[in-house]
Amino acid sequence: MTKYKTIFAGLDGYEKGGVEVINDDPKNYVFSNIFEVASKAKPWEKVAVAKNQEYVLEVIRAEGTSSWRVTPHDEFAMVVDGEVVIDLLDPEHPLVDPSASGSIALSGEPKGTVMGKVIARRGHLALLPAGRCYRMRAEKPSVVLLQTVSGPDTVERWSEICQKY
């Protein structure tokens, strides 16, 4: 019987894998490593690592305190390394067009009702509800994988981050 050992990666240590194509054109596949992407990203930069029509998975290097953001649609934030505190606020009036795409950065401190906070560690998933504001904080570099809709702050670096043949 084959023995397998699970190794959890993080910013401090990861091994980049790859795609082994058996009977197909390698150009039909992409592969990137979220920890490698985060290690090269600026704090709070939203780098797309997967895309399906308008939906994207973005890797975010969480470090320090982000600006407040508002999202016109639900987003899901999964912490894959470290610890991230997410502050949630219900704005006193709508701050984003419901038909917009992706979250939008706010300037300054929004006014509204504090909804609470989520303390998320590796493997925790948090819902960032539509129409609400959020801000993330991380005392030390952490990694968030965000499921969202591609928006104005989505950074696409496919040629830099994907496995090349």
Residue 21 has a pLDDT of 73
Percentage of the residues of the chain whose pLDDT score is greater than 90: 72
Contact by Cβ (8 Å): 132, 87: no
Helices (H), the chain: 34-40, 158-161
Contact by Cβ (8 Å): 62, 44: yes
Average pLDDT of the chain to the nearest whole number: 91
Question: pLDDT tens across 10-68, in order?
Answer: 888 887 766 677 777 766 665 668 999 999 999 999 999 999 888 999 999 999 999 99
CA distance 107 to 74: 21
Q: What is the pTM of this model?
A: 0.87
Instruction: Characterise 131 by phi-psi region: left (phi > 0), alpha (psi -120 to 50), beta (else).
Output: left
Delimit the domains of the chain by residue range: 26-161
CATH of 26-161, one of 3.40.50.10680, 3.30.300.90, 3.30.70.1560, 2.60.120.10: 2.60.120.10
Q: Collect all residues with Cβ–Cβ distance below 8 Å to 131 and sequence separation of at least 6.
A: 70, 71, 72, 91, 94, 95, 96, 98
Q: In this structure, what is the dihedral angle of CA atoms 92, 97, 103, 108, given to the nearest 10 degrees?
A: -40
